[in-house]
């Protein structure tokens, strides 16, 4: 297996991009990543996108987007694992370069979610749950995560103030990210008074509906070393992929995200790393409870300790282990197919020392954790500065 | 790069499967392939499916289907390239085993198309075209392929009798395939009198709407050699992936399927093979004109010679180069996400010498060509008996 490096990063502004279409925002991110890498020729484009069929009535993005980039002819593929589609695009590109099937891959993620009306967006997202056993009964994602939150509160004494602490921290980080959807200073008090969405989750516990795209350029470490410039070379040292039952009703334990734990174990094993080796982490905070549970599943904190850790500031940029320096899904926004790629883009930016006001000093090793549905799938990548 | 073998094959009956759901037919194919391989432990499941969101209101098949198989936890991914989604699932599994990221992969394809009403199925399939530049004007796939047919007729003098010859040959082959959707003896006369769909394409030029699933088990050739049994080991020796402009309006030439030619060239180069080395071929005959153009793009016949070759019987089971021994999409049926996997399953079955009444004597090398949209993407695999 060949060593794989990330040599280019591109991210669009995230938000309500009413004046741009899916193909426009995608190309913006792709061109930014190619320019950042200084690369023109690529062997493959991978595209993470959850549901262009339901959001914008368009499938076959492989052909559409290679064409949009002026690269018709180039090999291209779209992958989907609900909100973990971006992480899956990264995994797919990694396998292509590692195997030798491709030398240089453009890994991308995109979602255009605002072009459907509100009810349809909720329906489209709901197709990530088991439609015959969950969706049929009318439940949508805030309700599913509310059940996880209640179970966690009951077993561990996790509090709504701890949920609010996650939101406050991520919005503070988002203030430092020019691409973030929201630049707002949030207080615990305001979070606790926000509109109730699905008890105990309030509006400030939920990530938004977002348009956006992100892209990375992968090649071999060998080729990266020959490229011009004196930026650190960032290597992908671990990739882990796992599933869990899609329906919450079939899980033995609602207080652990098993797919995240297993995907993390696989990535740690491949990279030869432990949680203690990490300097910076992006996790999938589609809801505040998801961030708490992800930090536990990845072994950053013990079971039931994630909420207190957030409240104690351990996950702040200057904390013990900074989590979601980008602002996370909560503040940066959550264009579902783009999220996994944007997470990895943040880790690469941190490891290159280019994160500006949100830089974690001396970060050498990072992790990005992407998740589909209510934890039915998860994809974890570990990245590090190549020595 | 490690050598990759196909060690298991499973295909469901294709047709209108009103009493089964997407997950049911998928599991049937998956279990058949695992049983055929004698394998229980797999590292990854890949799933080709074009649009479960639009056809059955369900995304996140990676989680849903690993769960359905009783394998929640196992890594899984869904890929999409319109009607080439199955070929892309095979490519993805191939890259995983070749790279060493996975040792054993279950490659699958599925589509449940009959559960939506007729108008919606046409809309869902139409999302494989450029929705802003083609779909917007109301055109659907029969109309797009009719334009390709007209261009081919004008340049090369291809005739509707030649289109009919393709349909007659594929239905004759389908009579020998117990899994085929249609078992009907078709004559040229009947084909030429069928209902007009989009001039010059009649009903007997069009593949049907189909429910079905197919699966393969991949592992390394090294592991395959240690498995019990004395079946020939079938190796994947070439994999090529290419795109073309998604919209017909942007193509320089409507008489060549460029994505098929380029994907074929990539696969031939990897395998070190030429068209003349092939003993059996499955091509993507979503319409009869598509089979004619694919046989030309793959170099089986010169430009403009594909129609005459079909009429002269060169592509029959006992012809110079047998094409679509399975019955093809026309007779076997076209559950779009499953098609690419089912094509490879037919080639493996032929190379194992297990194709029964439709066996091509002494077949040692075969090719499967899968296509998305009106040729906006294509994926070609070359398989051969490992010496």
Q: Using CA atoms, how far apart are residues B245 and A122, in angstroms rounded to an integer?
A: 32
Boundaries of every domain in chain B: 4-117+209-227, 129-206+234-385
CA distance A358 to chain B (A): 33
- Residue entry with tokens 């007779």: B331
Question: What counts of helices (H) and strands (E) characterise chain B?
Answer: 14, 11
C-beta atoms of A54 and B54 within 8 A: yes
CATH of A129-206+234-385, one of 3.65.10.10, 3.40.47.10, 3.40.190.10, 3.40.630.10: 3.40.47.10
Query: Closest to A53 (Cβ–Cβ): which among B53, B95, B246?
Result: B53
- Enumerate the residues of chain B whose CB falls inside 8 A of the CB of residue A259: 63, 73
pTM greater than the 0.95 cutoff: yes
A83 has catalytic annotation: yes
**Each residue's pLDDT tens digit in chain A (387 positions)?**
999 999 999 999 999 999 999 999 999 999 999 999 999 899 999 999 999 999 999 999 999 999 999 999 999 999 999 999 999 999 999 999 999 999 999 999 999 999 886 668 889 999 999 999 999 999 999 999 999 999 999 999 999 999 999 999 999 999 999 999 999 999 999 999 999 999 999 999 999 999 999 999 999 999 999 996 789 999 999 999 999 999 999 999 999 999 999 999 999 999 999 999 999 999 999 999 999 999 999 999 999 999 999 999 999 999 999 999 999 999 999 999 999 999 999 999 999 999 999 999 999 999 999 999 999 999 999 999 997
Q: Give the distance, in angstroms, between the CA of residue B192 and the centroid of all CA atoms in the same chain.
A: 25
Q: Which of residues 206-265 of B touch A (CB under 8 A)?
A: 239-247, 250, 258-259, 262-263
Evaluate whether B133 touches B373 at the Cβ level (below 8 Å): no
Beta bridge partners, A4, equal A220, A236
pLDDT the model gives residue A167: 98
Options A152, A171, A284, A334, the catalytic residue: A334
Tokens representing B239?
A: 């994999």
B126-184 residue pLDDT tens: 999 999 999 999 999 999 999 999 999 999 999 999 999 999 999 999 999 999 999 99
- Enumerate the residues of chain A whose CB falls inside 8 A of the CB of residue B113: none
Answer whether A57 touches B (CB < 8 Å).
yes
B41 confidence band (pLDDT: 50, 70, 90): very high
- Residue entry with tokens 């020796």: B237
Domains A4-117+209-227 and A129-206+234-385 share a fold: yes
CA angle A64, A66, A70 (to 5 degrees): 110
Answer whether A130 touches B (CB < 8 Å).
yes
Q: Give the distance, in angstroms, between the CA of residue B14 and the centroid of all CA atoms in the same chain.
A: 13
Q: Using CA atoms, how far apart are residues B343 and B354, in angstroms rounded to an integer?
A: 15
Q: Which of residues 64-93 of B touch A (CB under 8 A)?
A: 64, 66-67, 71-82, 88, 91-92
Share above pLDDT 70 across residues of chain A, in percent, rounded to a whole number: 99
What HEC string does A122-161 produce? HHHHHCCCCCCCCHHHCCCHHHHHHHHHHHHHHHHCCCHH
- Enumerate the residues of chain A whose CB falls inside 8 A of the CB of residue B100: 1, 98-99
B330-352 residue pLDDT tens: 999 999 999 999 999 999 999 99
C-beta atoms of B101 and A92 within 8 A: no
Answer whether B204 touches A (CB < 8 Å).
no
CA distance A341 to chain B (A): 16
Better-predicted residue by pLDDT, A96 or B387: A96
Query: What average pLDDT does the structure give for chain B?
Result: 97
Identify the closest residue of chain B to A237 by CA–CA distance: B101
C-beta atoms of B377 and A79 within 8 A: no
C-beta atoms of B82 and A92 within 8 A: no
Report ipTM for this prediction: 0.95
Q: Which CATH class is domain A4-117+209-227?
A: alpha beta
B83 has catalytic annotation: yes
Evaluate whether B235 touches B383 at the Cβ level (below 8 Å): yes
Tokens representing B123?
A: 């809309």
Identify the closest residue of chain B to A58 by CA–CA distance: B127
Q: Which of A356, A270, A371, A276 is nearest to A317 (CA)?
A: A356
Q: Using CA atoms, how far apart are residues A350 and B247, in angstroms rounded to an integer?
A: 40
- The sign one gets for the Cα dihedral A207, A209, A212, A213 is positive
- Enumerate the residues of chain A whose CB falls inside 8 A of the CB of residue B81: 60, 62-63, 76-78
Burial level of A325, CB count in 10 A (0-12/13-18/19+)? buried
pLDDT the model gives residue A118: 61
Residue B212: pLDDT above 80?
Answer: yes
Residue B117: pLDDT above 80?
Answer: no
- Coil, strand or helix: which one is B169? helix
Better-predicted residue by pLDDT, B120 or B21: B21
B230 confidence band (pLDDT: 50, 70, 90): confident
B295-329 residue pLDDT tens: 999 999 999 999 999 999 999 999 999 999 999 99
Identify the closest residue of chain B to A3 by CA–CA distance: B99
C-beta atoms of A62 and B81 within 8 A: yes
Options B83, B152, B171, B284, the catalytic residue: B83
pLDDT the model gives residue A119: 65
Options B152, B171, B284, B334, the catalytic residue: B334
A208-224 residue pLDDT tens: 999 999 999 999 999 99
Answer whether A269 touches B (CB < 8 Å).
no
Residue B176 carries which DSSP code? T
C-beta atoms of A64 and B127 within 8 A: no
Answer whether A12 touches B (CB < 8 Å).
no
Q: Using CA atoms, how far apart are residues B119 and B136, in angstroms rounded to an integer?
A: 16
A67-97 residue pLDDT tens: 999 999 999 999 999 999 999 999 999 999 9
């Amino acid at each position: 297996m060949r060593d794989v490096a990330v040599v280019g990063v591109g991210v669009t502004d995230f938000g309500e991009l009413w004046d741009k279409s899916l193909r426009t925002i995608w190309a913006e991110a792709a061109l930014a990543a190619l320019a950042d890498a200084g690369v023109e020729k690529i062997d493959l484009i991978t595209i993470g996108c959850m549901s262009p069929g339901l959001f914008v009535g368009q499938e076959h993005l492989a052909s559409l987007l290679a064409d949009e980039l002026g690269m018709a002819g180039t090999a291209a593929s779209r992958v989907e694992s609900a909100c973990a589609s971006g992480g899956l695009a990264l995994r797919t590109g990694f396998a292509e370069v590692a195997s030798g099937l491709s030398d240089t891959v453009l890994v991308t993620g995109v979602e255009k979610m605002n072009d459907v009306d509100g009810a349809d967006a909720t329906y489209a997202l709901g197709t990530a749950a088991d439609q015959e056993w969950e969706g049929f009964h009318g439940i949508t994602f805030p309700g599913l995560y509310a059940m996880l939150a209640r179970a966690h509160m009951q077993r561990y004494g996790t509090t709504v103030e701890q949920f609010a602490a996650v939101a406050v921290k991520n919005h503070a980080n988002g203030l430092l990210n020019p691409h973030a959807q929201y630049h707002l200073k949030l207080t615990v008090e305001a979070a606790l008074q926000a509109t109730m969405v699905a008890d105990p989750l309030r509006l400030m516990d939920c990530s938004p509906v977002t348009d956006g795209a992100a892209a990375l350029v992968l090649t071999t470490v060998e080729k990266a070393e020959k490229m011009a410039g004196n930026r650190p070379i960032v290597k992908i040292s671990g990739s882990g992929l796992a599933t869990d039952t899609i329906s919450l009703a079939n899980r033995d334990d609602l207080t652990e995200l098993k797919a995240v734990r297993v995907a993390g174990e696989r990535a740690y094993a491949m990279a030869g790393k432990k949680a203690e080796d990490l300097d910076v982490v992006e996790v999938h905070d589609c809801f505040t409870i998801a961030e708490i549970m992800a930090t536990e599943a990845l072994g950053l904190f013990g079971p039931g300790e994630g909420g207190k850790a957030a409240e104690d500031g351990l996950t702040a940029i200057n904390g013990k282990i900074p989590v979601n320096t980008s602002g996370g899904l909560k503040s940066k926004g959550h264009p579902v197919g783009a999220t996994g790629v944007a997470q990895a883009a943040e880790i690469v930016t941190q490891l290159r020392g280019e994160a500006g006001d949100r830089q974690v000093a001396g970060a050498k090793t990072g992790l990005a954790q992407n998740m589909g549905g209510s934890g039915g799938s998860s994809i974890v990548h570990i990245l590090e500065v190549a020595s």
